[in-house]
C-alpha cells in the first residue's frame, strides 16, 4: 500500500484538491523543520536557502519565537483589535516606531499579508495627499491582489489573463547597469511621464523596493533614492519603501532603505517580521498615518495576537543575537563562494552577483560571452541542487536569477555545505 504521507502520494492529492494557480517550487512536502534544515515526509533533509521566500530571518521554529507563541496561546488567540485591543499590538507598534527609518514621530498599523500592507500604504497615501496616481517600477513585485498586481511589473504569471489593472498606475524603468538601463534613463522616463501622462500634482506616491525581490535582487542606488526623495519633496508626493522582503536584518540593516541614507514617508513590512506567522504592517510618519479616519484601516485578523507575540520575540532575537552583523558575515561567505564559481571556467555560465548583506543573487546566462538570460538553465540548477539536498529559488524577469535567502541564524557549517551543493549544481548544469 502506498504511504498516504509520502511525497508522491501527497503530490497526487495536491493535484486533485488544490487550485492549479498555486505553484510550488519543489515536489516535496515538509514534515519537520528546525533553524536552516527541513525534513520532508520521505525523511530526506534539506538545507534551506529559501527561508519560506525570505520569511525566516530567525530560522525555522526559533525557540524564543515558539515560546512567545505558546505563551500567547494560553491567554487568547483572537479578539479582533477593532473589538477589544491588546497590549502586544501596541507594544509592537511602539517598537517599530522607535526604529522607523525616518526622523520624527511615527505610527504603525498591522495587517496579515504583504499585499494588504501595500494596499493600505497606497490607501493612506491617497487619503493623506488627496491625490490618486501612483508610480511604480519595472521588475517590481508588490503582490497579487488587483492593486498590488497592478503595481507589480511582470505580466506572467501574476497578471496573465486577469483583465484590466487598477486605474492610475504609472511605471518607470528601474536602473539596472548590466542591462544598460541607467539612472539617467529613469530620469528621462520620469520627465516624459510628467510631460505626457500624469501631472505631478495628481501623484499620491512613488513606491519602490530598496532591493527588488521577485524582480531579481536589483539594488536601488543611493543616487536613485535621493533623486526620488528630492522629486517627492518638490511635488508633495509621498515615498513608500516596500521592505516586505528586504526588511528585518536581511541586508545587514533593519531596513534596506537605510543603506541609501534616504528617509521614506511610509514603509511596508511583512515576511521576517513575525518568524513564520502571518503578520504585516505599515510604518509611517504620524501625521500621514493619522489622515485616515477611525474605521478606515484594519481587518478582522490584522495584527493578530499570535503574530504580534511572535514579532516581539523576533525583534528580541535580531537584537540580542546580533543578526544585523551576522547578515553581513553571511553575505561575505556567500560572495566568496559565488565569486569562486564565477572565476571557474566550467559548468553553467553565471554573472552579475549583486545585493546587500545576506540578500544576494546572480544570473544564469546562455553563454559566457553573452548577456542573454537563461531561465530554463537556472531552473535546472535549482532542481539539481534539490536532488543534492539544497532548496534554492529562482526569480528575475526571465527566471534567470538564483537568489539566496538563508536564515540569518544558519551556522557556518550548513551555510558552506549549502554553497558547496549550489556550486556543484552549477558545475553540473
Chain CA centroid to CA 256, Å: 11
Q: Look at residue 2 and tell me whether its pLDDT is greater than 60.
A: no
Q: Tens digits of per-residue pLDDT, 364-385?
A: 999 998 899 999 999 999 999 9
Domain boundaries, the chain: 7-61+322-428, 76-320
Return the pLDDT at 1: 39
| Residue linked to cell 528601474 | 174
Q: Tens digits of per-residue pLDDT, 170-228?
A: 999 999 999 999 999 999 999 999 999 999 999 999 999 999 999 999 999 999 999 99
Q: Tens digits of per-residue pLDDT, 200-212?
A: 999 999 999 999 9
What pTM does this model have? 0.97
Q: Tens digits of per-residue pLDDT, 336-366?
A: 999 999 999 889 999 999 999 999 999 999 9
Return the pLDDT at 31: 98
Read off the pLDDT band of 146 (50, 70, 90).
very high
* CA gap 341, 344 in Å, rounded: 5
Angstrom distances, CA of residue 400 to CA of 41, 103, 113: 30, 38, 27
**Domain spanning 76-320, CATH architecture:** 3-Layer(aba) Sandwich (3.40)
Domain 7-61+322-428 sits in CATH 3.30.450.60: no
C-alpha R_g of the chain: 21
* Helix orientation angle between 323-343 and 305-320, rounded to the nearest 10 degrees: 70
DSSP one-letter string for 307-369: HHHHHHHHHHHHHHTTHHHHHHHHHHHHHHHHHHHHH-SSSS-EEEEEEETTEEEEEEBSSTT
Task: Return the number of other C-beta atoms located less than 10 Å from residue 206's C-beta.
Answer: 26
Task: Return the number of other C-beta atoms located less than 10 Å from residue 116's C-beta.
Answer: 23
**Average pLDDT score over residue span 312-332:** 98
Amino acid at each position: 500500500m502506498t504511504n498516504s504521507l509520502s511525497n508522491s502520494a501527497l503530490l497526487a492529492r495536491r493535484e486533485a484538491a488544490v487550485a492549479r494557480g498555486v505553484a510550488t517550487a519543489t515536489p516535496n512536502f515538509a514534515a519537520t523543520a528546525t533553524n536552516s534544515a527541513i525534513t520532508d515526509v520521505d525523511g530526506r533533509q534539506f538545507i534551506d536557502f529559501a527561508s519560506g521566500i525570505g520569511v525566516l530571518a530567525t530560522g525555522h521554529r526559533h525557540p524564543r519565537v515558539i515560546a512567545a507563541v505558546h505563551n500567547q496561546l494560553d491567554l487568547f488567540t483572537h479578539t479582533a483589535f477593532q473589538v477589544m485591543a491588546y497590549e502586544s499590538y501596541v507594544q509592537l507598534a511602539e517598537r517599530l516606531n522607535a526604529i522607523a527609518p525616518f526622523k520624527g514621530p511615527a505610527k504603525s498599523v498591522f495587517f496579515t499579508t504583504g499585499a494588504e500592507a501595500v494596499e493600505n500604504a497606497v490607501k493612506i497615501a491617497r487619503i493623506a495627499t488627496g491625490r490618486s496616481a501612483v508610480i511604480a517600477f519595472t521588475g517590481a513585485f508588490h503582490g497579487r491582489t488587483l492593486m498590488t498586481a497592478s503595481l507589480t511589473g511582470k505580466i506572467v504569471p501574476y497578471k496573465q489573463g486577469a483583465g484590466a489593472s487598477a486605474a492610475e498606475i504609472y511605471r518607470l524603468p528601474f536602473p539596472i547597469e548590466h542591462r544598460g538601463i541607467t539612472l539617467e534613463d529613469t530620469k528621462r522616463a520620469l520627465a516624459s511621464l510628467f510631460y505626457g501622462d500624469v501631472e505631478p500634482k495628481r501623484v499620491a506616491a512613488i513606491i519602490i523596493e530598496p532591493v527588488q525581490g521577485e524582480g531579481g535582487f536589483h539594488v536601488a542606488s543611493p543616487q536613485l533614492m535621493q533623486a526620488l526623495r528630492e522629486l517627492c519633496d518638490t511635488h508633495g508626493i509621498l515615498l513608500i519603501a516596500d521592505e516586505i522582503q528586504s526588511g528585518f536584518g536581511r541586508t545587514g540593516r533593519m531596513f534596506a532603505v537605510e543603506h541609501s541614507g534616504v528617509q521614506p514617508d511610509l514603509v511596508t513590512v511583512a515576511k521576517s517580521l513575525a518568524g513564520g506567522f502571518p503578520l504585516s504592517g505599515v510604518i509611517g510618519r504620524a501625521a500621514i498615518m493619522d489622515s485616515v479616519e477611525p474605521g478606515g484601516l484594519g481587518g478582522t485578523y490584522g495584527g493578530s495576537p499570535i503574530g504580534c507575540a511572535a514579532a516581539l520575540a523576533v525583534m528580541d532575537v535580531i537584537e540580542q543575537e546580533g543578526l544585523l552583523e551576522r547578515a553581513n558575515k553571511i553575505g561575505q561567505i556567500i560572495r566568496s563562494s559565488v565569486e569562486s564559481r564565477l572565476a571557474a571556467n566550467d559548468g553553467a555560465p553565471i554573472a552579475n552577483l549583486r545585493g546587500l548583506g545576506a540578500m544576494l543573487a546572480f544570473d544564469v546566462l546562455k553563454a559566457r560571452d553573452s548577456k542573454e538570460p537563461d531561465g530554463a538553465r537556472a531552473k535546472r540548477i535549482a532542481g539539481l541542487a534539490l536532488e543534492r539536498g539544497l532548496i534554492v529559488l529562482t526569480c528575475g524577469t526571465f527566471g534567470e536569477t538564483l537568489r539566496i535567502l538563508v536564515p540569518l541564524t544558519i551556522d557556518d557549517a550548513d551555510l558552506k555545505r549549502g554553497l558547496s551543493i549550489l556550486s556543484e549544481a552549477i558545475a553540473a548544469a
